[in-house]
Amino acid sequence: MVESAKHISSPVPITWYPTLAVFMLAIGLIVTASFFIYEATSPRKYRSLAKELTTGAVASVFLGFGSLFLLLASGVYV
């Protein structure tokens, strides 16, 4: 009655972890830098809340997944 357990495997090959970490962290840092430049150079009354939220969300997603793949590449399985 007990079915055999299936192995859990990653949808991404393990050899791609370091490459994905570098690219995602680089993209996240570039988007974060553009967010800070936008905040520092645009006058307060010409800022767009939608652009700020979108840029922040994109940077957060890339930095989050980049950090995840960096941890996985270094052997910390989360």
Task: Supply the DSSP string of 16-38, one letter for each residue.
Answer: GHHHHHHHHHHHHHHHHHHHHHH
What domain range includes position 48?
20-72
Mean pLDDT of all residues belonging to the chain = 93
The conformation of residue 31, written as its DSSP 8-state character, comes to: H
Split into its structural domains, the chain has a count of 1
In a domain? residue 37: yes
Report the amino acid identity of residue 29: L
d(CA 53, CA 58): 9
In a domain? residue 7: no
Over the stretch 37-75, which tens digit does the pLDDT of each residue have?
A: 999 999 999 999 999 999 999 999 999 999 999 999 999
In a domain? residue 78: no
Angle, helix 49-73 to helix 17-41, in steps of 10 degrees: 150
In a domain? residue 36: yes
In a domain? residue 6: no
Residue 25 has pLDDT above 90, yes or no: yes
The structure's pTM equals 0.85
In a domain? residue 8: no
Query: Which residue has tokens 């570039």?
Result: 30
The conformation of residue 72, written as its DSSP 8-state character, comes to: H
